[in-house]
Amino acid sequence: MGAIAAGLVACTQNKEASATQQPKDLPNANPFPIVISTWPHIVDNEVALTAIKTGDLLDGIEQGINSVENNPEDQSVGLGGRPDRTGIVTLDACIMDKEHRAGSVCYLKNIKNPISVARLVMQDTPHVILAGDGALQFALSKGFKEEELLTAKSKEEYVEWLKTAHYKPKVNAELHDTIGMLAIDDKGDISGGCSTSGLGYKMQGRVGDSPIIGAGLFVDNEIGAATATGMGELVLTTLGSFLTVEFMRQGMSPMEACKAAVMRTVEKNKNTYKEMQVGYIALDKYGRYGAYSIQPGFQYTVTFENHNEVFDADSYLD
């Protein structure tokens, strides 16, 4: 507890000063449990926090992300997700726990809660990733029911898109594509999850970073965790979430680590990065958090007892 308390003393309350760590006015020296997620997900973080306090970390991650997946108004995840360019909604998700176990599904059709299927892949199979028809059959064997995921709203937008079928894979605040969630419980253990319907109007069969351990999500219970949002191809080619955790292992704060991972992408994509978005959030063993992105507009949500706030992440092109 001495190290945790020391880490919290160094935290700042100034949201405008990049919101890199926790505010000082915590209810006590130990803010755990704490939940952070990509984008404004106040209600979903609250669902996760409640589940952690009444169950465990994985219950929190699963139920918090389920809350987004079940919301047809969020067109980046689960039910109502934007389809590929053939009009089919395909979903990806992964989960990773404090024991370094992981489960993932990709190119999953007709099942609105891929994070729940990913958890069962982790718990009930000897594998990490199940894909396509195999992932669907596994989900059905576990009692999941197939349903149409393309809502009227998403279909209407798809039909409008077909008029030009113009595809420019730029991801920004208006078209983000992921819910990534990290949490630490009152014992100081960390887990995380990630779920997405991927880029709207992607090529059929495209899989991004979200279901890939080390790219869209990475958890090391000795150090911390990170998750990504934005252009999956850029995250995949740097293994950005793993890289962020490794930067924290070297002694960087969560915000510094997120920034260093973003800068790696900038350095490797000098001619294209200005047209792309990549953002990371990270949480360390002290309960400190941080975020950073290429483009401005990336937001993330931080939730713990009696505190729920959306922050604007610092960005390279701010």
Q: Which residues are catalytic?
A: 178
Sheet with 299-304, side-by-side order of all strands: 129-131, 102-108, 91-96, 190-196, 179-184, 34-38, 299-304, 307-312
CB-side exposure of 122: number of CA atoms within 13 Å?
Answer: 25
Q: DSSP string of 225-274?
A: EEEEEE-HHHHHTTTHHHHHHHHHHTT--HHHHHHHHHHHHHHHTTTTGG
Contact (CB, 8 A) for 190 and 283: yes
Contact (CB, 8 A) for 83 and 201: yes
Contact (CB, 8 A) for 197 and 78: yes
Nearest-angstrom CA–CA distance, 29 and 11: 11
Tell me, what amino acid is at 181?
M
Closest CA to 63 of 119, 123, 129: 119
Contact (CB, 8 A) for 263 and 293: no
Tell me, what amino acid is at 271?
N
Pull the structure tokens for residue 160.
């409008």
